[in-house]
Amino acid sequence: MGVSIESYRSAIGMHDCFVKTKENKLLLCLLKLVRDLFKYFGPILLMLFINMPYLYCVLLLILLQCGDIEVNPGPPPPQLTKLCHINARSLLAGANPELHLDSQDTLLDDIYETLVFDHSFDIIGIGETWLKPTTVIETLNMTGYHTPLVKSRFDRGGGVMLYVRSEFVVERRLDLEVDDIELLWAEVKIGKQKILVGIGYRSPGMSAAQVDDFLNSFAQSYEHTLNEQSDAIIIMGDFNDRCKHWDDGHTDSELGLKFYSYLKDSNLYQLINEPTRLNSLLDLLITDSPGFIEDFGTLSQIGDIDHRIIHGTLRIHNPLPAKLHRTVLHYNKADWDKINRDLSNAPWDLAFTLFTDTNDIL
pLDDT digits (tens, 9 = 90+) for 188-236: 999 999 999 999 999 999 999 999 999 999 999 999 999 999 999 999 9
Are residues 304 and 340 located together in one domain of the fold? no
Q: Is the pLDDT of residue 278 over 70?
A: yes
% of the chain surpassing 70 pLDDT: 87
Are residues 290 and 188 located together in one domain of the fold? yes
Are residues 11 and 123 located together in one domain of the fold? no
Number of Cβ within 10 Å of residue 145's Cβ equals: 22
In a domain, 235, yes or no: yes
Are residues 11 and 98 located together in one domain of the fold? no
Do residues 224 and 260 lie in contact, with contact meaning Cβ atoms separated by under 8 Å? no
Exposure of 332 by Cβ count < 10 A (0-12 exposed, 13-18 middle, 19+ buried)? exposed
Are residues 356 and 209 located together in one domain of the fold? no
Q: Give, for 309, the enclosing helix (H) or strand (E).
A: strand 309-317
- Total domains, the chain: 3
Are residues 337 and 196 located together in one domain of the fold? no
Domain interval for residue 131: 80-317
Are residues 273 and 177 located together in one domain of the fold? yes
Distance CA 176, CA 228 (A): 10
Do residues 271 and 223 lie in contact, with contact meaning Cβ atoms separated by under 8 Å? no
Are residues 148 and 32 located together in one domain of the fold? no
In a domain, 71, yes or no: no
In a domain, 43, yes or no: yes
Are residues 52 and 100 located together in one domain of the fold? no
In a domain, 325, yes or no: no
Q: Which of 266, 270, 176 is nearest to 228 (CA)?
A: 176
Do residues 143 and 189 lie in contact, with contact meaning Cβ atoms separated by under 8 Å? no
Q: Which of 262, 254, 304 is nearest to 282 (CA)?
A: 254
In a domain, 281, yes or no: yes
- Sign for the CA dihedral angle at 108, 111, 117, 122 comes to negative
Alpha helices in 51-119 (DSSP H): 52-65, 107-111
In a domain, 249, yes or no: yes
Distance CA 210, CA 202 (A): 11
Q: In this structure, what CATH number is given to the domain that contains residue 239? A: 3.60.10.10
pTM above 0.75, yes or no: no
Distance CA 22, CA 26 (A): 6
Are residues 301 and 350 located together in one domain of the fold? no
Q: Which residues pair with 185 in a beta bridge?
A: 198
Q: Which of 108, 150, 145, 111 is nearest to 132 (CA)?
A: 150
pLDDT band at 18 (very low <50, low <70, confident <90, very high): very low
Work out the mean pLDDT of the chain and round it to a whole number.
86
- For the chain, the residue count is 362
Are residues 92 and 47 located together in one domain of the fold? no
Phi, psi of 298 (to 5 degrees): -125, 155
Residues 6+ apart with CB under 8 A from 223: none
% of the chain surpassing 90 pLDDT: 55
Residues 6+ apart with CB under 8 A from 147: 137, 138, 141
Q: Give, for 10, the enclosing helix (H) or strand (E).
A: helix 5-50
- Give residue 19's pLDDT: 47
Would you call 90 helix, strand, or coil by DSSP?
coil
In a domain, 84, yes or no: yes
Are residues 105 and 41 located together in one domain of the fold? no
Number of Cβ within 10 Å of residue 147's Cβ equals: 14
The radius of gyration of the chain's CA atoms, rounded to the nearest angstrom, is 38
pLDDT tens for each residue of 128-184: 999 988 888 998 999 999 999 999 876 666 899 999 999 999 999 999 999 989 999
Would you call 216 helix, strand, or coil by DSSP?
helix
In a domain, 238, yes or no: yes
